Structure 1
């Protein structure tokens, strides 16, 4: 512990993850109001636009997560404009961390939980942040738990592929919207 890291460290969602997901959301949703109008769907295109806007705020809020590590605790927070009913952050003092447990996800990936001795409570270690390796070093320094084998859940190349697919989807969206508008005229 001779290599002291600054007393407060803040980590945001990785930019490649954030940009990819912020681009994917409109690619999946923006054509819907145009298609609803072109097909005379029973749902109003205006209602769809309202839903899309609310969903965009929801996604933006989710992607605004911040992980703060200081001398006393690790904390996951969201911007103050987000109602706590939507996203609850958490805070865990370093002296309450008893272990780091690995779990397999349904897709075969690995996630890690910070576990407390009290009723075996577990807190998901944020894994999609920029500076993940630095955060893990700080967790090891503060808890004394070996973090040598911990790796991020998703590699950047996975999100790069998703971003490329999203751009292709935007091309299809452009054609879909153009077709839907031309059917109206």
Structure 2
């Protein structure tokens, strides 16, 4: 979206954000039930803090304006997650491709001072972002695509949701088991 000041913001892709949040929930949901009774509330508090941290990490934004590109977190979490960078358009000299161990390709923006910054490839409206980058800098973005195809996140989201459903079904079955125990059962 373009603001009245000409700033265009690109957030993490909703599919990726939803997938990673679902995976977090799937992995930590059973932990309070598995923890010893005296530690359960501490576990719940830690998991809620972890959820806030994950939400913060997934809220990284890419901003473009007439001056350049900036990658940063929103104000509510920026005090904790200080990582970020900016680069004026005129400083961008090249896109450097680097192969990943999974067979994909990431790209680094190379600046005049030889600084390299990772090109965000998991953002919403990625094609629009590449168009802005190509229009305002001297680099060609031809042939650059997303880091991973959407189907990989769709499969992972499906698996995470199946895990959550299985954990809920297990919790219901477990609670039914304990409810139906005979009176005076030592278990």
Alignment TM class, shorter chain as reference? 0.7 to 0.9
Secondary structure of 1:170's match? helix
Choose from 151, 156, 161 the match for 2:155. 161
Q: How many angstroms apart in 2 are the aligned matches of 1:54 and 1:32?
A: 14
**SS in structure 2 opposite 1:23?**
helix
| More deviation, 90-99/102-111 | 102-111
8 Å Cα contact 1:35/1:180 also seen in 2: no
Structure-2 change in CA distance of 1:69 and 1:62 (3 Å): same
- 2:96 aligned residue: 101
The aligned residue for residue 120 of structure 2 is 126
Q: TM-score, normalised by structure 2?
A: 0.85
Q: What is the alpha-carbon distance in structure 1 between the residues aligned to residue 116 and residue 150 of structure 2? A: 27
Q: Name 2:165's counterpart in structure 1.
A: 171
> How many residues end up aligned between the 2 structures?
175
* 1:90 correspondence with 2:85: yes
Question: Which secondary structure does the structure 2 equivalent of 1:24 belong to?
Answer: helix
The 5 A counterparts of 1:132-151 are 132-151=126-145
Once the two structures are superposed, the pairs formed by residues 5-154 of structure 1 within 5 Å of their partners are 7-37=6-36, 44-118=39-113, 120-154=114-148
C-alpha distance in 2, partners of 1:56/1:135?
28
How far is 1:180 from its partner? 5.0
Q: How far apart are 1:7 and its partner, in Å?
A: 3.7
Asked which structure has the greater CA Rg, the reply is: 2
Structure number with the bigger relative contact order (C-alpha 8 A, sep ≥ 6) is 1
Tell me whether 172-181 or 151-160 shows the greater mean CA deviation: 172-181
Cα deviation, residue 11, structure 1: 0.9
Residue ranges of structure 1 left out of the alignment (5+ in a row): 1-5
Task: Flag the 1:160–1:75 CA change in 2: closer, same or farther, 3 A.
Answer: same
Task: Give the root-mean-square deviation of aligned CA atoms.
Answer: 2.0
